[in-house]
Amino acid sequence: MVRAGRAGVAAGPTLAVVAREAGVSVPTASKVVNGREDVAPETRRRVTEALDRLGYVRRPRFDGARTLRMVDLVVHSLENSWSGAVLHGVEEAAYDAGLEVVVSAGPSRRRGGRPERDWLDRLVVRGSSGVLFGLAEPTGSQYAWLEQHRIPFVLIDPVLEPPPGVVSVGAANWQGGVTATEHLLSLGHERIAVITGQRHAQEGDARLAGYRSALAAAQVRDRAEYVRHAGADPAAARRHTLELLDLPEPPTAVFVCSDALAPGVYEALAARGLRVPDDVSVVGFDDLPEARWLGPALTTVRQPLAEMAATALRLLVRMMDGDRPEGTRTELSTRLVERASTAPPPAAPGGTRRAPARAAG
């Protein structure tokens, strides 16, 4: 499985030739090539110049048998900060493991759809050592194809529950939902609405369940009219927020289960002349870089995307080496990042009061 590359072209001079050119011993030249500290600056300069002049190609320092293996990262889209964080985590971990990363936007997301078979063929022909999927789940036949060709793969933050035995890495979404809701409860809010993504998406379902668990633990009533699904569309979040504000008992806080929906919530509140957080508090989920751009900056539950991606890469490397991870789902913990979008509700100054929940509205 070692690739020939164009080693013939690139072989270049030996270290002995470089040492002669630089007027140093071979061990000294070797020290420079290997980045050792115990070389005089002037000597280092001479050797470096000789290396450049002669076009010396150092052997990569990775384990020979694994030299320049490549893994594929397939994401649903490259144009968003979710992918940026995932790519960052994968690239760093891959560099540390001596792997190169080939990146593609997921199949069937472009004009007319990318042909599924073509994309899989490329993985096989190229001899991909493994594949990471980010928000781009394989279809049933793609799963079968990957198994058939013995290409290991790991899902990062899958939207749907993966089939049994498929290895995935996600965030502790349920716990994150609890954290966001408990934060609002601790400020004195009881009328807490939730705007989540599409129905039956596993991460949204888990965050919503966390919200409900936190309300139940605090004996705060869970109101059906406070639970909204906005898909991935900030305009839908805006509409739902306006509807929530029109309720006989409008919420004093909104937990929006994805930062990407928060601009819609802010817009709706501004359209009604309501201030964040004085009139209505908002908590997000993800901690995308954009969360800091909102005014006021969004308090949100941080999902450690880069760490999740790095974890997925490391699991993939183990699978490439023939190992099988023990569990199939790894969850990394989330944490609250407090910024400026939450405060006690207008009717409950101080933020420490916790009235017993009423039995019914």
Choose which of 36, 63, 117, 163 interacts with a copy of itself (CB under 8 A): 117
338 near a copy of itself, judged by CB under 8 A: no
Which listed range, 78-86, 208-216, 240-248, 323-331, lies at the site for a copy of itself (CB under 8 A)?
78-86
Question: Pick from 81, 213, 328, 330: which binds a copy of itself (CB under 8 A)?
Answer: 81
Closest Cα partner for 46 from 66, 22, 76? 22
Closest CA to 71 of 316, 311, 321, 310: 316
Cis peptide bond upstream of 296, omega within 30: yes
Q: Mask of contacts with a copy of itself, 249-288, x by CB under 8 A?
A: --------------x--x---x------------------
Q: Exactly one of 77, 202, 328, 330 binds a copy of itself (CB under 8 A); which one?
A: 77
Nearer to a copy of itself, 33 or 218 (CB): 33
SS3 content of the chain, % helix, strand, coil (to 5): 40, 15, 45
At residue 34, the 3 state secondary structure works out as coil
Cα–Cα distance, 99 to 94 (Å, whole number): 5
Q: At 20, which amino acid appears?
A: R
Number of residues interacting with a copy of itself: please give it, by CB under 8 A: 67
How far is residue 35 from each of residues 15, 45, 172, 207, measured CA to CA in Å?
14, 12, 41, 48
Least distance to a copy of itself from the beta carbon of 346, Å? Answer: 21
Q: Going residue by residue from 93 to 112, which x/- string records binding to a copy of itself, judged by CB under 8 A? A: --x----xxxxxx----x--
CB of 330 to a copy of itself, least distance (A): 22
Q: Which is nearer to a copy of itself, 36 or 200 (CB)?
A: 36
Instruction: Evaluate whether 130 touches 155 at the Cβ level (below 8 Å).
Output: no
Please report how close the Cβ of residue 303 comes to a copy of itself at its closest, in angstroms: 14
Q: Give the sign of the dihedral formed by CA 14, CA 18, CA 19, CA 23.
A: positive
163 lies in the site for a copy of itself, by CB under 8 A: no
Longest CA–CA separation in the chain, Å: 89
Tokens matching residue 105: 């936007």
Name the DSSP letter for residue 228.
E
Residue 88: both structure tokens together = 């960052």
Interaction mask 119-148, a copy of itself, x per CB under 8 A: --xx-xxxx-------------x--xx--x
Instruction: Please name which of 45, 42, 47 lies closest in space to residue 25, comparing C-alpha atoms.
Output: 47
Binding site for a copy of itself (CB under 8 A): 1, 3-7, 9-10, 33, 35, 48, 51-52, 55, 57-61, 67-68, 70, 77-81, 83-85, 87-88, 91-92, 95, 100-105, 110, 114-115, 117-118, 121-122, 124-127, 141, 144-145, 148-149, 263, 266, 270, 289-290, 292-295, 306
